[in-house]
């Protein structure tokens, strides 16, 4: 039995009533309400009172059910934590890849220059800065940016990241790539369009993700 199952972790199971069986064969129809300190708290059908049962005294099927419910809840909480994370644009590609590997998300690699590129501002205003896209990004993307707003700094970036620029070439702004955590190119979006909204951009990224998953 995993250690966290025996800890002080209270879970709202929200499960339908099921048949629970003790190791000696006794059964009860009840709803699982929470798991805490090595016990499962059940609410039998037609009652409001909770009854604690030692997990170790239940059947192997019941123990497996509880373990799976705990695993599902832990994954749900991990997703909530990831989705609530603050989104920041990495400027170090190695750090972006490390975060992508940790979360299991691809990288949105963006070339932009909003100080002098009108289409970059259009992309920022119509897509990237919209709450719909930000919500999507929190649960699906890691950001990396190559900002050429200052042309001299942009040229320095190209010199310092020559291989990166060769792997992900940019001949016009804005230009975006969807990149795997391993640094493989999954797709490219060149430019921007006035009519693009968050859903249009998300659809393109999802298409790249599906295509990458088939490789």
The total of other beta-carbon atoms located within 10 Å of residue 166's CB is 9
2-11, 64-73, 125-134: the lowest-pLDDT one = 2-11
Pick the closest to residue 134 from 212, 213, 208, 201 (CA basis). 201
Does 77 score more than 70 pLDDT? no
* Residues whose CB falls within 8 Å of the CB of residue 25, separated by 6 or more in sequence, listed in order: none
Task: Name the packing angle between helices 131-138 and 198-213 (round to 10°).
Answer: 20
Mean pLDDT across the chain: 85
Region 82-106 average pLDDT:
85
pLDDT band at 33 (very low <50, low <70, confident <90, very high): confident
pLDDT top residue among 2 and 51: 51
Task: Sketch the domain layout of the chain as residue ranges.
Answer: 3-83, 93-213
pLDDT band at 118 (very low <50, low <70, confident <90, very high): very high
Kindly state the percentage of the chain with pLDDT values over 70. Answer: 85
Q: Residue 204 in contact with residue 136, Cβ under 8 Å?
A: no
Helix, strand, coil fractions of the chain, as percent rounded to 5: 45, 25, 35
CA-to-CA separations, 72 to 20, 31, 32, in angstroms, rounded:
19, 17, 14
Pick the closest to residue 97 from 162, 136, 159, 142 (CA basis). 142
CATH number of 93-213: 3.40.30.10
pLDDT reported for residue 215:
60
Whole-number Å distance between alpha carbons of 8 and 15:
20
pTM of the model: 0.63
DSSP H or E run through 189: strand 185-190
Does 213 score more than 70 pLDDT? no
Alpha helix positions (H), the chain: 3-6, 60-83, 93-103, 118-123, 131-138, 151-160, 162-167, 198-213
Pick the closest to residue 208 from 190, 189, 181, 183 (CA basis). 189
Pick the closest to residue 24 from 52, 62, 51 (CA basis). 62
pLDDT in tens, 132-154: 999 899 989 999 999 999 989 99
The total of other beta-carbon atoms located within 10 Å of residue 100's CB is 23
Does 172 score more than 80 pLDDT? yes
* Residues whose CB falls within 8 Å of the CB of residue 141, separated by 6 or more in sequence, listed in order: 105, 106, 107, 108, 205
Kindly state the percentage of the chain with pLDDT values over 90. Answer: 57
pLDDT reported for residue 78:
63
- What is the CATH architecture of 3-83? Roll (2.30)
């Amino acid at each position: 039995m995993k250690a966290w199952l025996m800890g002080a972790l209270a879970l709202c199971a929200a499960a339908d009533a099921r048949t629970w069986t003790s190791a000696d064969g006794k059964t009860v129809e009840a709803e699982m309400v929470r798991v805490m300190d090595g016990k499962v708290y059940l609410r039998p059908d037609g009652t409001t009172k909770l009854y604690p049962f030692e997990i170790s005294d239940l059947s192997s099927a019941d123990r497996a059910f509880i373990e799976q419910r705990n695993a599902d809840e832990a994954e749900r909480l991990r997703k909530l934590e990831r989705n609530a994370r603050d989104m920041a644009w990495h400027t170090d590609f190695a750090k972006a890849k490390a975060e992508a590997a940790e979360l299991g998300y691809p990288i949105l690699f963006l070339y932009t220059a909003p100080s002098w590129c009108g289409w970059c501002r259009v992309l920022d205003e119509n897509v990237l800065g919209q709450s719909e896209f930000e919500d999507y990004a929190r649960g699906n993307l890691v950001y990396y940016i190559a900002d050429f707003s200052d042309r001299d700094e942009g040229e320095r970036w190209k010199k310092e990241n020559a291989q990166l620029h060769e792997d992900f070439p940019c001949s016009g702004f804005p230009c975006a790539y969807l990149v795997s955590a391993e640094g493989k190119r999954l797709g490219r979006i060149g430019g921007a369009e006035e009519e693009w909204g968050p859903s249009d951009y998300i659809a393109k990224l999802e298409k790249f993700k599906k295509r990458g998953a088939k490789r």
